[in-house]
Each structure stands twice: as C-alpha cells, then as structure tokens.
Amino acid sequence: MKSLLAIVGAVTPPGRLLNATTAMLTGAREAHPDLSTHLINLADRKIAFADGRSPEAYGDDTAATVKMVGDTDAVIIASPIYRGSITGALKNLLDHVPVEGLMGKPVAIIAMGATTHHYLGVDWHLRDILAWFGAMVAPTSVYLSSADFVDGKISEGARGEMLSLVETVIKLGAISGPLGPKPLAARR
C-alpha cells in the first residue's frame, strides 16, 4: 500500500476530530515513511449537493475530492455523530463517489461523540454505505469521546487505537485480488 487518505466528515470549525485525525496521519507517516498520507477536511471543501451530474460539472471542489478518494489505496473515514448517524456533508460526498472509487478498497471508521451513548450510530450507518461500495471494511472501528481529549489534544491511548486502525487498513491492503463477488451496485 502506497497511499492513505483520511476524510474528516465534520464541517464545523477545526476541532478535536480534525486534531486527532491529523495526529493519526503523523503517526502513520512516522511508522511507515514510505506511506503517502492525505487529508480531506470537509470543512475546507466546497462539495456540491449530489444531484446526479458528473462531479466535473459543478465547478467547485467536488471533482478533485472525488478523484482523491478514487486514487488512494486506503481510506479512513472520521465522522462525528450527528443526530445518531454520520454528517450530511459526509453522506453527500459519498453520494458523489462512484462505486469503483471504494470497491475492494480497505476502509476504516473513526466515530466521535460527546459520550459513549451513541457509539454505534456512525459505525452502523457507514458500514451499510460501505457495503454498497463493496469496500473491505476493518472489522472494528475507533470511537472517541470527550474523555479521550485533554485540552483539545488526543490522549496517547486513543491515538494508539487510531494507529492500530492504520495498521489494520495496511494489512487489508496487502490482500491481493477481490474478496468475493462484485457488490450489487457494480453489477450493471
């Protein structure tokens, strides 16, 4: 695996999830100097509302962002819990990505909420979406809560869990060939 992309699905000003994801990518580069890492922070991108047009038709960041997703070897998606699920901005981006953009690609999930009460909300909904793509989803995810941060910075324990997730997608990326049939969405 040569490249890892992290997507931060929050559109609020930079905060704890962005800081934690940035720390994870820094740790990934330290552990794997040959790994190229990239970050998509949806707060910094103008992604058009998905209305069926090709990403190139919008004249904003949509096409370049979709291309980044398709061009990477593995993806880690980080989303805060928003009304019991992922953010609308993240879902909108995923609605633009063609099935081939994530099909057979290692993908892992990081969710964040104030408490652990809704820890499966993001995980559950993203796994459904990623199954549609036929992505190779890591069997476990990382859940971050307020207790995992001190003065806005990620704790060492939580950072270690995030780096373990990086190792998981690297191992999944070492699998050659497809795992099973194409997803239904790709059988046109």
Q: pLDDT confidence of 14, banded at 50, 70, 90?
A: low
Q: How far apart are CA 157 and CA 139, in angstroms?
A: 20
Model pTM above 0.85: yes
Query: Does 111 score more than 70 pLDDT?
Result: yes
Q: What is the DSSP string of 108-176?
A: EEEEE-SSSTTTTHHHHHHHHHHHHHT-EE-SS-EEE-GGGEETTEE-HHHHHHHHHHHHHHHHHHT--
Query: Does 137 score more than 90 pLDDT?
Result: yes
**So what's the pLDDT on residue 176?**
78
Q: What are the residue ranges spanned by the domains of the chain?
A: 3-186
Cβ pair 45, 76 in contact under 8 A: no
Express as a percent the part of the chain with pLDDT over 70: 99
* pLDDT digits 0-9 by tens, 157-182: 999 999 999 999 999 999 977 788 99
* pLDDT digits 0-9 by tens, 58-70: 999 999 999 999 9
Give me the residues paired with residue 3 across strands: 36
Q: In the block, which residue shows the tokens 């949806």?
A: 42
Name the more confident of 61 and 12: 61
**So what's the pLDDT on residue 180?**
86
* pLDDT digits 0-9 by tens, 58-103: 999 999 999 999 999 999 999 999 888 899 999 999 999 999 999 9
The two structure tokens encoding residue 1: 């695996």
What is the mean predicted confidence (pLDDT) over 98-124?
A: 90
Give me the residues paired with residue 5 across strands: 38, 75
Cβ pair 1, 170 in contact under 8 A: yes
**So what's the pLDDT on residue 84?**
83
CATH of domain 3-186: 3.40.50.360
Q: How far apart are CA 12 and CA 41, in angstroms?
A: 10
**Whole-number average pLDDT of the chain:** 94
What is the mean predicted confidence (pLDDT) over 8-25?
A: 92
Q: pLDDT confidence of 134, banded at 50, 70, 90?
A: very high
